[in-house]
Amino acid sequence: MDLFSILSIGGKLLDKVTEYFPSAEAKDKAKLALLEMSQRGELAVLAADTELALGQLDVNKQEAASGNFLSATWRPLTGWVCALAFGVQYVIGPLVTFVTTLSGHPIILPVMDMSTIMPVLIGMLGLGGYRTIEKIKGAS
């Protein structure tokens, strides 16, 4: 059960309990308190997510500064593998097929399943584009 469903149940419970309060003002105050608790919960989740992201950034910085070749280069290597697969599938493969067909000896290269590598490539390109925008704006 997540936080919001618990708060929803809490709101219904408050409705039942506040029926016994002598005024509508007390009921409204109790609902306001519940709403504030809900907002604090949402902010706590956001703060936890932010902390997690900052921790991952620190790990990334330490990995990049590492003297270990494999540890420091696995991300760029992943980018190169994705770019090479993209190039072979969408540029080199069609050109080879076209040129060999024109020469009279057609070679048709097998089609790669790009459904597994494209999300990685798109993600890396998105992050690269974000960094480019940061550089344009002068962020370090």
> Mind listing the pLDDT tens digit for each residue in 17-64?
655 555 667 777 777 777 777 777 766 777 777 888 788 778 777 777
Reported as a single tens digit per residue, the pLDDT across 67-119 is 776 666 777 788 888 889 999 999 999 999 999 999 999 998 888 888 888 88
Residues 6+ apart with CB under 8 A from 41: 3, 4, 7
pTM greater than 0.75: no
The full length of the chain comes to 140
Looking at 19-89, list the stretches that DSSP marks H as alpha helix, in order from N- to C-terminal side. 24-65, 69-87
